[in-house]
């Protein structure tokens, strides 16, 4: 189980290697994604809070990166954070997500990106529920729920 100290250490010293790497040109990403998906995942944008029904979706299942289909989260780790974005307590694997120190907007946060294709997913915070205390605050537009 990852802890906040693990996240901070990884963000500062380097991320684990992904199982595979997906690299596409900007033109390829633009042709694959809608303008909103591109803005969020490739330009580190943020969707409006409460803009996705995924926030209230709590059925069992798995969530993948919209861009490359890498498995990121299990619905068993999803919780209602009240923030307006889907929130999870842990990723499915320690190397599924990469962490970057983000000092934009005059604050210091930890950005989460898909470790396979570098898609911006959201941020992780140390105010989640026990036992790990993490809140992966994700943009719903960056995720897709896998079909059973």
Phi and psi at residue 78, to the nearest 5°? -90, 145
Please tell me the number of Cα atoms within 13 Å of 128 on its side-chain side.
Answer: 24
- Which are the catalytic amino acids? 137
Query: Comparing C-alpha atoms, which of 59, 56, 34, 50 is closest to residue 142?
Result: 34
How do beta strands 120-125 and 135-138 pair?
antiparallel
């Amino acid at each position: 189980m990852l802890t906040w100290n693990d996240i901070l250490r990884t963000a500062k010293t380097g991320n684990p290697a992904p199982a595979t790497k997906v690299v596409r040109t900007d033109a390829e990403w633009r042709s694959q994604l809608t303008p909103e998906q591109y803005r969020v995942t490739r330009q580190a944008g943020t969707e409006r809070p409460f803009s996705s029904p995924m926030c209230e979706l709590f059925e069992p299942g798995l969530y993948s990166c919209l861009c490359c289909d890498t498995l990121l989260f299990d619905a068993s780790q999803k919780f209602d954070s009240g923030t307006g974005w889907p929130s999870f307590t842990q990723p499915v694997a320690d190397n599924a997500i990469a962490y970057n120190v983000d000092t934009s907007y005059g604050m210091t946060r930890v950005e989460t990106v898909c470790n396979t294709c570098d898609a911006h997913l959201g941020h992780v915070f140390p105010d989640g529920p026990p036992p790990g205390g993490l809140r992966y605050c994700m943009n719903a537009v960056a995720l897709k729920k896998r079909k059973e």
